[in-house]
Amino acid sequence: MKKPLTQVDHNLIECLVNYMFIKGKSEAPDALKCVECWFKKSTVIDRDIRHCFGQHVELAIKGHYNYWMQSPIGCLGLMILVDQFPRNIYRDTTAMFAGEKVSREIVNKPHDWQSVLSPVHQLFTPALILTHHEDLESQKRCVQHYQEIKERLPPDFHGFRSIFIKHLEVIE
């Protein structure tokens, strides 16, 4: 029997999503703010993530939140904990890849991402996560997934196409 997501789990997932998908004045995710959070090297952001979420990152990497994989929104939260936040907390060390096994497991399981997650959330899970995997198949899957969601993305997020194509070209 699968362990159900509790209200505590949902609250943590909501905090993670709100942290990663910074909203602008329109209450929609702001592309520039998201890109800055996701890609900019910042000791302030790294320290903030470590302080707010460090204990959850450690637990997630050890498998304590693997039951979140039963839902796309749980996968989104888990991906933030095992794939993105270790890159911040453990920047420039091998520990930043500690969640790689779990992140691969998530993207390799079949999920109905498009019926549950918004297109912007799908840029992160699974597309952006696939760019972190340094293999050709993952890069192709990323570009293919982007093609499937691009028409539904806000225009400010269309620049990700070039990021995903560049990653594919580098790996090829």
Specify the higher pLDDT residue, 17 or 35: 17
Mean pLDDT, range 22-26, rounded to an integer: 89
Determine the Cα–Cα distance for residues 169 and 67; give it in Å rounded to an integer.
Answer: 35
Instruction: Render pLDDT for 97-144 as a digit per residue (tens, 0 to 9).
Output: 999 999 999 888 888 877 788 999 988 888 888 988 889 999 999 999
Residue 139's pLDDT is: 94
> pLDDT-based confidence at 170, cuts 50/70/90?
very high
Instruction: Render pLDDT for 31-42 as a digit per residue (tens, 0 to 9).
Output: 989 888 888 899
Burial class (CB in 10 A: 0-12, 13-18, 19+), 53: buried
Residue 1's pLDDT is: 53
Among residues 17, 29, 71, 46, the alpha carbon closest in space to that of 160 is found at: 29
In the DSSP assignment, the letter for residue 171 is H
Q: Is the model's pLDDT at 147 over the cut of 90?
A: yes
SS3 98: coil
Residue 128's pLDDT is: 86
User: 7-20 and 31-39 helices cross at what angle (nearest 10)?
Assistant: 100
% of the chain at pLDDT higher than 90: 72
